[in-house]
Structure 1
Amino acid sequence: MALIRDIARVCKSKNAGPFELTVDVVFDDPALYRRVKDTGVLSADLFARLYNVSAKSVIFTPYDAASAFKATFPRLLPSGEIGDSDVYGCQQHAPLLDVDIPL
């Protein structure tokens, strides 16, 4: 087992406009990326569970050429809305860091 925080080169989040977030997970090693991809752990369903959104609303894309995954999904609150604690969306990747990949 391996945590995303320990095996990914990059794991970051940012706003994709005021109403959506995007999360990128990038690997240095294409072989490791393929192993992670083959587990099926990183998926629209995972992002739906972690971020409390519908799986249908998650756009999940593996990018083989870049050894990367991208997920875009609705923010629970629009950026800057009263109660929003991360206007830029740059801290929203944190729940993903502790995801355990069965390698």
Structure 2
Amino acid sequence: MTTVADIATKVRSKNAGPFWLTIDIFCGSPAALAQITQGLSTARVAALFNADPDTLKRFDIADLNVVKFSLPRPQIQGSLRDRDMHGAGWAPLIAEMQLD
């Protein structure tokens, strides 16, 4: 099976403020963008991160060949239970996802 990392040129995650995380999938070409957008459902991404699908935001940005997901952080950034202060640990999880 094909994974996101097999097609994307880069997958990164980062903070989008103390309450949100953002995951960017850089596809590199319109063909790669089409494969990612068709093979990666928002519901599956929400399930991967144990997030409510209604709170997960998805942006397919064709001009940049990017798919972006934003979701609430499970813990507020910098709180005692926050284990990923910069939000960088989320990218490998989505990079390893298999496409439909």
Alignment TM-score, normalising by the size of structure 1 = 0.88
Q: Which residues of structure 1 form unaligned runs of 5+?
A: none
Equivalence for 1:59: 57
The answer to whether structure 1 residue 36 and structure 2 residue 36 are counterparts is yes
Give the C-alpha shift of residue 50 in structure 1: 1.1
Give the C-alpha shift of residue 2 in structure 1: 1.1
Equivalence for 2:23: 23
Give the C-alpha shift of residue 74 in structure 1: 0.4
Give the C-alpha shift of residue 47 in structure 1: 2.2
Contact 2:8 2:32 in 1 (8 A): no
Alignment TM-score, normalising by the size of structure 2 = 0.90
Q: Identity over the aligned pairs, expressed in percent? A: 26
Measure the CA separation in 2 of the matches of 1:35 and 1:95.
18
Give the C-alpha shift of residue 53 in structure 1: 1.2
Alignment of 1:88-99 (within 5 A): 88-99=86-97
Equivalence for 2:48: 50
Q: Which residues of structure 2 form unaligned runs of 5+?
A: none
Q: Secondary structure at the match of 2:46?
A: helix
Measure the CA separation in 1 of the matches of 2:68 and 2:58.
6
Query: How many residues matched?
Result: 100
Equivalence for 2:71: 73
Q: Deviations over 1:30-89 (max 9, x none)?
A: 1121132233x242x122111111000011110111111011110100111112111011
**Pick from 78, 82, 85: which aligns with 1:84?**
82
